[in-house]
Amino acid sequence: MFQRFLLTTAAAVALISGPALAAQDAIRLGMVLEPPGLDPTANAAAAIDEITYANLFEALTRFAPDGSIAPALAESWEAKEGGKVYEFKLHGGVKFHDGADFDASDVVFSLDRARAPDSVNAQKALFADIEAVEAVAPDLVRVTLKAPDADFPWKMAWGDAVMMDPASAADAATKPVGTGPFKLGEWTQGDHVTLTAFDGYWGEKPALKTATFRFIADPTAAFAAMMAGDVDAFPIYPAPETLDQLKADPRFKVIVGTTEGETILSMNNRNAPLDNPKVREAIALAVDRQAIIDGAMFGYGTPIGSHFAPHHPDYVDLLDRSPHDPEKARALLAEAGVSGLKLRLALPPPPYARRGGEIVAAQLREVGIETQTTNMEWAQWLETVYKNHDFDLTIISHVEPMDIGIYAREGYYIGYQNPAFNALMEKLKAALDPAERSAILKEAQEMLADDHPVAFLFQLAKTGVADARIEGLWENAPSPANDLTKVHWKE
């Protein structure tokens, strides 16, 4: 028995000292979706930023873990002429992963590329008001806007605003070259992306030497991977039904925070009868938000009545503008002369959409609306729904920060047109006074809540799981990102 005890102990020590010690400078992260490419300036998929933001690519500014704006490639900036001109002072000694020096000319290239007529940037609106970009000196950039914009430094923190190397920008989807602390190691499509530490990084070196992002879409497989130790963390964990079991296991810690993800039942406002506000309101009233949160997210999520994050200081609780009221929904459909309505419901892969879609379809059926449901892979959803607008309904989380302005975008996939809302967004751009901005944002929320361009469902929670020894992962998600710059294993 004593010999058996020694063998067992030796095996346990080997298990602890082998993988555990080897893992001190490496991490394996689980992700639900594989990105369609690795160029955040050329595609709307949030999965791109989840790998590249602050890791591979950097912008002039960046989102800090608390959502504030912090310096990145720009060590400082100054607003002039009432916010119509911004000057960014750049860090020196910055190099791209291919060895090229980064300077003001690269900023000019990157911003001009993003705002060019043929730009494929998914957030082209961020750059639409730029009038000119000038390299005043190698370490100084001047950006002149068409009109004052107090939010410009915030816009420059988005993943869509990262700086590109002119020599490699065209191939960034498969061969990304950035200035970040990690560079691309390998991409085995369908399985994983591995990043490796960039020895020439200009800033504070990360503790990690390698980071592997494994793509595990199935919730059951995600749980199995955590339990087996095949991944060290799942920052956006897709199986909330197993969180209590993981909480009870001392090997893991469950990290629950907030996101900027307004989860909505999007409607194609171009298509009849969804161009009728009464029909849109009927759909909004047919939805039982809490039932969707409980049934699809196992209680993780916060009901919302407009496109605004509840944790934001300017949030207005507007749930009473669209309470669950099937009887009134049926009456509104009758007033609109609509009966026997059948709508196409397109669902992307995330569990909130697939599971939520089943519940929404049942709720709509209760008021006389049938749905033809199509489950789509992410690339198909981006092409069919987001780009070509070939849909009636879809469920999606808009995870970009402070993105209430999407409802004013011409040609946006929702197809909402409201001149009064557009004017409000123009007014917001010019407002520098915090109190005035707050009042505008509150008015904008109320306008959307009354007009029902979509049915607002819930604010997506950030439910993550990690090895208990890992520190530095974001608790909240002010942007879709897995920022690894401060991630490390406990000693």
Give the span between the Cα atoms of 131 and 215, in whole angstroms.
Answer: 41
32 sits in the region (left: phi over 0; alpha: psi -120 to 50; else beta) called alpha
Residue 13 pLDDT exceeds 90: no
Interatomic CA distance for residues 164 and 110, integer angstroms = 6
CA–CA gap between residue 153 and residue 383 (Å, rounded): 30
CATH tag, 261-460 = 3.10.105.10
* pTM, 2 dp: 0.82
CATH architecture of the domain with residue range 182-257+462-489: 3-Layer(aba) Sandwich (3.40)
Considering the four listed CATH numbers 1.10.10.10, 3.40.920.10, 3.30.1300.10, 3.90.76.10, the one that applies to the domain covering 40-161 is: 3.90.76.10
pLDDT digits (tens, 9 = 90+) for 432-459: 888 999 999 999 999 999 999 999 999 9
pLDDT tens per residue, range 101-111: 999 999 999 99
Does 308 have pLDDT greater than 70?
A: yes
Over residues 280-299, the mean pLDDT reads 97
Task: Give the C-alpha separation, 276 to 274, whole Å.
Answer: 5
CA dist., res. 460 & res. 263, Å (int): 6
pLDDT classification of 17: cutoffs 50, 70, 90 = very low
State the pLDDT at residue 10: 35
Q: Where in the chain is the domain with CATH 3.40.190.10?
A: 182-257+462-489
- Residues linked to residue 210 through DSSP beta bridges, in sequence order: 26, 196
Domain span(s) for CATH 3.90.76.10 in the chain:
40-161
C-alpha closest to that of 361 among 328, 385, 327, 394: 394
